[in-house]
Structure 1
């Protein structure tokens, strides 16, 4: 709206200047009102479409419909998963650590859940689909998550994430790609890094120790050293 209204006003001024007289002014005002109303409807429709995209992702994840879930992630997010796949296959421990805490855990989980041949043959969409179908996306964690305020700006949008009616302090970006709204989980990864660093500090351990403990809980402490090695080592 903030970007559209000045454009409507400018169009009205240009019409008045070109035509002159009282009648064109009335016509311009009517055109501006009509355009503004149409714009309001369009923005409202897009905001609703953004909300629906997020709701559809949550529903797909809860139903373990991996194909549907993958189709709702932005290209930036799919590229992120491609990078995680490549690190799982060939990344050194140092390279994995440089990606951040949440990304590191993702890479190690991929190594635990897939072998080299299986993972190497997957596209990003197939990887997301398989992860959802394996239950690696916790459907219960999405039960109380909603979108708060949604702001649409052309083919991009941003939405406040809420949990149990309270702001989660995270803003999700959405992108309209091939005519459909898709979203990027990147800010959640950043928030995850911050949360894990806080937990590590509270427990008096390093982030690396916390990651090892998490992996040990998921897959057994004896597998942790193995998960630190690339699948195609």
Structure 2
């Protein structure tokens, strides 16, 4: 970090540098803590509004549930503002949706469907002011060219976030995290696995459980294209 500071001309405060130990043996962890005076936090660290907990199974409870609760509270306050149902729908698209998309994209992890359904019901209740919907959601979410309003589908956006993370492995200049996947899959090309029938794919290691989930979402969402022998999403 000191060398990085000299090269980048950024002054780094080591006492404010947070560190989260994952999977380190106790002896190694004690040795590292003795050498580096970081702000060690075993419960988790926060970065750009996202909490990275010490346990993978706590990701949804510390991030998604928090955002969902804030969404519900915000919608309840908005009910005091007099708007048409179109105005309320526009408010959701411009304010609520970006908040949800941010946590979906930053943390492409499986979220229980009942939780997503609760968010959907909260949004629908706000749009129709707690009354029975006058227009079916299928019509609201239809494309504009089909006389719909292109209203966002929470479940679909959650799936899209998972698939979007996989698409980054197809870029010419791939993010660094894609190389970690390649190391965990010796003898295989991860981009190639995306185009391999699900029955022929080698099982992904436990360390790539998020990638495995995203891959399953992609397989269950897309059907093979019209090109001969195209197996994208096929089984």
TM score, norm. by length of structure 1:
0.24
Q: Write 1 or 2 for the structure with the bigger share of strand.
A: 1
TM-score, normalisation: structure 2: 0.24
Bigger helix fraction: 1
